[in-house]
A and B are shown apart, each in its own frame.
Chain A
Amino acid sequence: MSSESTRRRLNRILAMVPWVIANPYPRVSEVMERFGYRKRRELARDLSLLFVCGLPGYGPDDLMVAFIEDDRVVLDMADYFSRPLRLTPLEAIGLLSAGKAAAGFYPENPALDKAVQKLTSELFPEAAEALDAELPPEPEHLDTLRRAAADRKTARMTYLSMGANRISTREVEPSMVHTSLGWWYLSAYCRLAGGRRTFRVDRIRSLTVLDETFTPHPGPDPPTAEFTPSADSIYAVLALDDGARWVAEYYPVDIISDEAGELVVRFAMSDPRVAARLLVRLGGQARLVDGEEVAEETDRLRRAILARYGET
């Protein structure tokens, strides 16, 4: 039992009650749809819980009345919960920034524009000038990939790989496109690699959707761009100067120590080149404390770049 799941359940109950009070005797299906109850049983369980809650004394005249009757929700004796709660700052920002970002991405959506406009003028008049959110510009191929994912069509693409900086041709089964940290990504099953992979959409050079539908591979949800450490991860220990502290925010790290202007972190990755590239890029702002594979890879990368510049 986590306090987060408690909070979520309470949030839903405390949102549903005032709505039912304002819209009495609603259909079960409508309450479920509106408040995201997947099963009728879940709603029935929340109503039974309300049924045993109420005011001190906790007798029949003090408890709330809540049950399902003839496929409708009955709720009574809960007038003290008739007003909906205010949004928390994080909720407000979530709603406003999602609305604004999506409105910028789908310019032809008058209902969304109107919703954002109403939220702003009624609840957060300051948001008109003080808050904005936008998604990275749409790269070429994004819409084609999104449609291929929706229609489950296989696609053939030439792709500039991140590690080797080489173009290869591969067939992929797209599952979704998503954006994170300023880039657009494609999540797909890659037939060349024989597994699920994430590709940067801006590095797809050419794309053809084939006339072949696929059955999605079973398995976990497509990975997002954010790397989650797993059993196969490689680890390295890095010491970061003040100018490189942002690394601890950007990548999944464990902080080992933080003193005298030096942050020491344990860095997880699937490929040692990730940390190697980072170390080279950070120059004197970071050093490798521990991690043999990363040390070799960093050395190799340093030499390759210096050789390109005719240096040793």
Chain B
Amino acid sequence: MSASVERLINLLAFLVDSDRPVTARQIRQTVFGYGQPSDQAFRRMFERDKDTLRRLGVRLEMRATDVWEVEKGYVVPDETYRTIDPKLTEEERTALALAVHMMRTGGRPPGSDALLKLGGARFVEAAGPIGADLALESERLSVVFQAVFERRRLRFMYRGRERTLEPYGMRHQRGRWYFAGAEMGHPADDTRTYRLDRAEDLELAGPAEAFERPREFSTRDILSSLPWETGPEMAARVRCEADVAWWVESRFPGAETVERGADGSAVLEIPYFSEATFINQILASDDAVEILAPPDLREALIRRVRGGA
């Protein structure tokens, strides 16, 4: 590993120190570590190195080496570097380090690399007995983040249709990431919400600062515009086996016990919004919970279990 780390440091030093774009040929001839026998081997190695640098946050750009623009070379643009120091105190760094290390299950937290770039933190204990998985490993997050923060349009497939969105914000809740915005051709205040893990072929579509985020937009709106959180509230009646009744009552907000059987089973009344979601939640308990009413809901569950839609 040392050889490639060494080569990459030399490459970056050369690029950053140079006051003009440097060509791939110059890199190959000058930078220590690129003494490769064949053109092909050099190109492969250089491509891999560019990719490693990109993942560190260093993006090489091509620029003409002189005013005649005959030849192009690489530069490291200035925006690669952080220009502002957030001036965190030692105590604030430690607090942030603890937060980052709490969000560790399910992969290495990208926040810990970020913290090093801000000067690291002195802190005591890495692994307390509490952890959280913010589902941060998806590359999709990176695309959405860029689109939201640079106010660029976002193109993706969602529920079988291609959409172009002006994304206003993103939010992590209950283990998932959501993003929201207005689709092209819809009014700017017609904000809709999408689940990140159901959006496919996400890509940035167009330049930065392509739209304005509506002043009244807030990340709090993101979930309230989801179909299963809106719409008319309905009420279901379910019968639960003795062992699960207490759990169903605590699991569903607004659930009330209306009848208790001698065997400990209970009949509960539960508010719900979406038929499909509610059936999923009931089926999570296998056959221990039975929908009694309304009849349509009961029928829908039976149909689902029989293998219908």
Contacts and interface: CB of A to CB of B under 8 A. Distances in A.
B136 to A, nearest CB: 5
B298 interface: yes
A193 B291 CA distance: 33
Interface stretch (A67-75, A171-179, A207-215, A232-240): A171-179
A55 B175 contact: no
B247 interface: yes
Nearest to A3: B52
Interface residues of A, number: 114
A87 B9 contact: no
Interface in A77-119: 80-81, 83-95, 97-99, 101-103, 105, 109, 111-112, 114-116, 118-119
A90 B80 contact: no
B133 A181 contact: yes
A130 interface: yes
Most buried by A among B220, B246, B247: B247
B254 interface: no
Contacts of A167: 243
Contacts of A105: 132
Contacts of B272: none
B116 A12 contact: yes
Contact of B117 (A87, A150, A205): A87
B106 A280 contact: no
B43 interface: no
A309 B95 contact: no
B2 A112 contact: no
Contact of B176 (A49, A182, A226): A182
Given A81-B16, A101-B99, A130-B169, A123 B175 contact: no
Given A102-B99, A305-B287, A176 B142 contact: no
A111 B56 CA distance: 28
A143 to B, nearest CB: 9
B287 A88 contact: no
Interface in B122-157: 122-123, 128-136, 139, 141-143, 145-146, 148-149
Q: Which 10 A-B pairs have the closest CB atoms?
A: A94-B111, A94-B110, A182-B174, A102-B99, A34-B120, A149-B129, A181-B175, A91-B114, A182-B175, A178-B131
